[in-house]
Structure 1
Amino acid sequence: MSGRPQGLPIEVGGLTKRFGHVRAVEDLSFTVRPGVVTGFLGPNGAGKTTTMRMVLGLVAPTAGTATIGGKRYADLPRPSATVGAVLDASAVHPGHSARDHLHIYRTMGGHPPERVDRLLTRLGLDRAADRRTRTFSTGMRQRLGLATALLGDPRVLLLDEPGNGLDPEGIAWLRGLLRGLAAEGRTVLVSSHVLSEVQQIVDDVVVIREGRLVAAGPLAEIERLSPGTVLVRSPDAAALRTALLRGTARGGAADRVDLMPDGTLCVYGLADSAVADLAAAEQLRVYGLSAGTSLEQLFLRLAGDGAPAGLDRPSALTDEGRNRR
């Protein structure tokens, strides 16, 4: 990449999109800042892709604005030299080689020819450069999509599920690539449902549910505002949950105990030692116990029915995040 690009903020204000009677996005506002990786999180159908398409001018909003560096995408003088995007990694001609594909888009954007070979090498596609894309795996198509997005050496990147189809080695490679792009000063917005990987990549998060903002700001601030948790794996989960909520004469009760989709108990308001002691006193089996808060737990709480104290009013965290910017 050339020099240190100066990233541009993505600013979404009051963004709303309705398709007939279906409300896809409702009064959505957040800012994506340069120089960091921002995770765009939400369950399927939350409105993430629709929001990204509105930022890129592919979908007209019903109301509100979406700008990049203060300008609509349509008003950018050289869009592909400012913004790179991957919304659908399968959008390649099956009869073209990877090299042909990149040269077509390079020519359309007016970018220098040497960018193609440089990106084929950087994205790990140099050995497959002259193969037809119909023979590519999903992971290779993801790499080719990223190479296409980077042709203009853009200052802003919008990537929709860029880790889909990548094996563990590919995920580690993607992590390093995105962190490196942000370190160069670029603005990087990444949507993903692979939360264990996102946690190792992102600095900021934007969480939406049913088209509305739930929380936005630095991940560290969201983790700080979220109470500590203890994860417990037990074949006696139902009985243990009842006991934790009831408490004992010697110790207090948990503030809250959630049963996670995989059967794990997520305990709030008790230390791990207290949980272990209570289970032993009740003669209930415990096969695993760990303290801490993962992004997956935070996501399930934020995007589920019960946002934690301090995060149940999105504007509070959003304003704090903006002040920190």
Structure 2
Amino acid sequence: MTNTRLAIEVSHLTKRFGPVIAVNDVSFTVQPGVVTGFLGPNGAGKTTTMRILTGLVTPTTGTATIGGQRYVQLKRPSSVVGAVFDANAFHPGHTARDHLRVYAALGGHPDSRVADLLGRFGLASAANRRTGTFSTGMRQRLNLATALLGDPRVLLLDEPSNGLDPEGISWLRDFLRGLAAEGRTVLISSHVLSEIEQFADDVVVLQNGELIAAGPWSRLAGPPSILVGSPDADLLAGVLAAQPSTSRVEPIGPGRLRVYGMDAAGVADAAAAHGLRVHELSTHSSNLEQLFLQLTADKPALAGAAPLAQAGAR
């Protein structure tokens, strides 16, 4: 395995399917060494973008490159990029071993990779079973094994956690983080935000084919706020608003405040200095779902984008 680190670069990418705008002037970078969540509701343009990255869809305008090259320019592309787009991309009559041997031969990879990957993905005992008898979780593992036949530096995964039980999701999280720790580039498309929050360091967010945000999701979420419960909330709000470090104080209900810019100790000290009572004090950080809803709230649809689901663009 080479130590080459390859970034994904998407620049001013647009794709139209007739009158439907699936992707509209989207630009972002996916860095190696981290897991990046590719987020958006169904119809946002995630799958269309990933299919453009792998040469399955031709963009209307713009570029999508891997390590500075389009997919069609890559020599032995399955040694550079591993992609999983369809959890059911198996011949039901083939065994798991046969399936991997076929794809190994197609990619020019040694047959020894088959046994290695069957063991790595916990499929050795099922190697001679027909894939038509596999559970969804087993098919997901076989998909990942197929994507890794060429030991690629870039992994593109579309909804890889679908059908996995909690143990399988935990295994997938550890597996993907391990790949990123090796310097690989990992892009995961999903609309299940609670799962991506466990996987991803960075996020790229699309809605209606447009880029909403990109970067480390903890930075996009902003600093935590402090929730305060006090029978003296009205007086305390004025005291806290006057503190140099406070950026904002919001009443959020009877006797309750949300404070931005201060930490919990600072709030407690300010209240004590003015003899004001505090009955509740807690630090609150936004989760990925809250961030996503905040980013996509009231975002208007693109002209011509309404039939996205009918066009099969995701």
TM above 0.5, one fold? yes
Structure 1's 214 and 36: CA in aligned 2 closer, same or farther, altered over 3 A?
Answer: same
Please tell me whether residue 73 in structure 1 is matched to residue 66 in structure 2: no
Structure 1's 231 and 132: CA in aligned 2 closer, same or farther, altered over 3 A?
Answer: farther
Separation in 2 of the partners of 1:58 and 1:115?
26
Contact 1:14–1:64 (CA<8 Å) still a contact in 2? yes
Separation in 2 of the partners of 1:202 and 1:27?
24
Please tell me whether residue 210 in structure 1 is matched to residue 196 in structure 2: no
1:99 maps to which of 88, 97, 100? 97
2:88 aligns to what SS in structure 1?
coil
Q: How many residues align?
A: 273
Structure 1's 133 and 221: CA in aligned 2 closer, same or farther, altered over 3 A?
Answer: same
Amino acid at match of 1:305: D
Aligned counterpart, 2:187: 189
Structure 1's 268 and 135: CA in aligned 2 closer, same or farther, altered over 3 A?
Answer: farther
User: RMSD over aligned Cα, in angstroms?
Assistant: 3.0
Alignment of 1:12-27 (within 5 A): 12-27=10-25
Give the deviation of 1:228 after TM superposition: 3.1
Give the deviation of 1:205 after TM superposition: 1.0
1:301 maps to which of 285, 291, 294? 294
Give the deviation of 1:222 after TM superposition: 1.5
Contact 2:223–2:285 (CA<8 Å) still a contact in 1? no
2:30 maps to which of 7, 23, 32? 32
2:224 maps to which of 204, 228, 232? 228
2:98 aligns to what SS in structure 1?
helix
Q: Determine which structure has greater relative contact order: mean sequence separation of CA pairs < 8 Å that are 6+ residues apart, divided by chain length.
A: 2
Alignment of 1:143-162 (within 5 A): 143-162=141-160
Contact 2:227–2:259 (CA<8 Å) still a contact in 1? no
Separation in 2 of the partners of 1:211 and 1:7?
28
Separation in 2 of the partners of 1:32 and 1:270?
30
Please tell me whether residue 54 in structure 1 is matched to residue 52 in structure 2: yes
Contact 2:96–2:126 (CA<8 Å) still a contact in 1? yes
Aligned counterpart, 1:251: 237
Structure 1's 132 and 205: CA in aligned 2 closer, same or farther, altered over 3 A?
Answer: same
2:212 aligns to what SS in structure 1?
strand
Give the deviation of 1:178 after TM superposition: 0.4
Amino acid at match of 2:237: G
Structure 1's 170 and 255: CA in aligned 2 closer, same or farther, altered over 3 A?
Answer: same
Please tell me whether residue 9 in structure 1 is matched to residue 7 in structure 2: yes
Amino acid at match of 1:102: L
Separation in 1 of the partners of 2:10 and 2:61?
11
Separation in 2 of the partners of 1:228 and 1:21?
43
Separation in 1 of the partners of 2:150 and 2:227?
45
Structure 1's 5 and 251: CA in aligned 2 closer, same or farther, altered over 3 A?
Answer: same
Task: State TM-score, norm by structure 2.
Answer: 0.79
Give the deviation of 1:219 after TM superposition: 2.5
Structure 2 residues without counterparts, runs of 5 or longer: 239-247, 268-279, 300-314
Separation in 1 of the partners of 2:119 and 2:186?
21
Separation in 2 of the partners of 1:145 and 1:201?
18
Contact 1:111–1:152 (CA<8 Å) still a contact in 2? yes
Structure 1's 231 and 305: CA in aligned 2 closer, same or farther, altered over 3 A?
Answer: farther
Structure 1's 154 and 205: CA in aligned 2 closer, same or farther, altered over 3 A?
Answer: same
1:170 aligns to what SS in structure 2?
helix
Structure 1 residues without counterparts, runs of 5 or longer: 233-246, 258-265, 275-285, 307-325
Give the deviation of 1:8 after TM superposition: 0.7
Task: Identify the range of structure 1 (135-144 vs 297-306) with the bigger mean alpha-carbon deviation.
Answer: 297-306
Give the deviation of 1:208 after TM superposition: 1.1
Aligned counterpart, 2:81: 83
For residues 153-190 of structure 1, the C-alpha deviation after alignment (integer angstroms, 9 at most, x for no partner) is 00110001111111011011001110111111111111
Give the deviation of 1:63 after TM superposition: 0.6
Give the deviation of 1:132 after TM superposition: 0.8
Task: State TM-score, norm by structure 1.
Answer: 0.76
